Amino acid sequence: MKFRALTAVAALLLAPAAFAGGADDDTLTINGDLDMVTKAAAPDHLSDVLDEVISGWHFRSDETQQLQTDDFENQGMIFVDQAIDQWNTAEGTEGKSCADCHSDPADSMVGVTTTYPKWNEDAGEMRTVQMQVNDCRTNRMGAEAWKYDAGAAVSMEALIASVSRGMPVDVAIDGPAAEYWEAGKDIYYTRYGQLELSCANCHEQNYGNYIRADHLSQGQINGFPTYRLKNAQLNGAHSRFKGCIRDTRAETFSAGSDEFIALELYVKSRGNGLSVEGPSVRN
């Protein structure tokens, strides 16, 4: 009876409010010349549930949207600048920097974000951008691995994302990735916590509505890492996953866990065709 009552409360919170509305029709152009695809036809694997995939940018206020249109206003770019310094800093027993192997990220990292998470054949595992960076740090630089979704790790991911802005997300979900994609899908549709809510309850069935004061988006992660005005810091996708599951009043998985790697692959694939926006700005 208690769970049923909580579920009923959750349903009321998700009900369309009088001021609720769908995605706006604004267009996102960055720095006056970089046009972003923020709405696209849903990929084939979503054809039974969505006709269109929509960036979370469309569900934010005009003031928040404006911050992302100019790199001087986008607070996330501060962390990108920090990562550029880190890129050029030699570390570890090998005395190497990222630049020693990869030169300028504006050349060597273009397009990388669009395909991650991806299967790494040599390692026999699904890897995220942060995992690949840590592999370089430990095996090529002789440096310590960074903590997942924290500090330098998420800033470096933002730098790598920034040089692919405007390019379409295109993660592979077949071959060795298929098993992980299915696992991520299972998590996406599983109800968690005392509120018995799944990712799909908010971001597939109720996007455009409000839950309390939050305008629900489709939960696309093409804009991650994202600077959130709520906590005034750069946030990785796994940190956002943790927050969502925690909000259902459930025990959550850890950033960098197998569960969140699979979920990242699945959610990223839901945005195939949208432009990479990271670092984006959200509330």
Single-letter residue type at 181: W
CA atoms within 13 A on the CB side of 195: 19
137 is in an annotated binding site: no
Provide φ and ψ at 135, rounded to 5°. -65, -45
- If 0-12 CB within 10 Å is exposed, 13-18 middle and 19+ buried, where does residue 245 land? buried
The active-site residue out of 244, 245, 274, 276 is 244
Within 13 A of 113's CA, how many CA atoms are on the CB side? Answer: 30
Tell me the C-alpha distance between 235 and 76, whole Å. Answer: 9
Query: Is 212 known to sit in a ligand binding site?
Result: no
How far, in Å, CA of 49 to CA of 52, rounded?
A: 9
- Show Cβ contacts of residue 102 under 8 Å, excluding neighbours closer than 6 positions: 108, 109
Alpha-carbon gap, residue 275 to 164, rounded angstroms:
9
Q: Does 98 carry a binding-site annotation?
A: yes
- Does the annotation place 203 within a ligand binding site? yes
Please indicate if the annotation marks 136 as binding a ligand: yes
Q: Which helix (H) or strand (E) holds 126?
A: strand 125-127
Residue 73 is among the residues annotated as catalytic for this protein: no
* Rounded-to-10 torsion of CA 107, 108, 110, 111: 150
3-state class of 58 per DSSP? helix
Q: Which residues are annotated as a binding site for substrate?
A: 240
Give me the active site residues, please: 244
Annotated binding site: 98, 101-102, 136, 199, 202-203, 240, 244
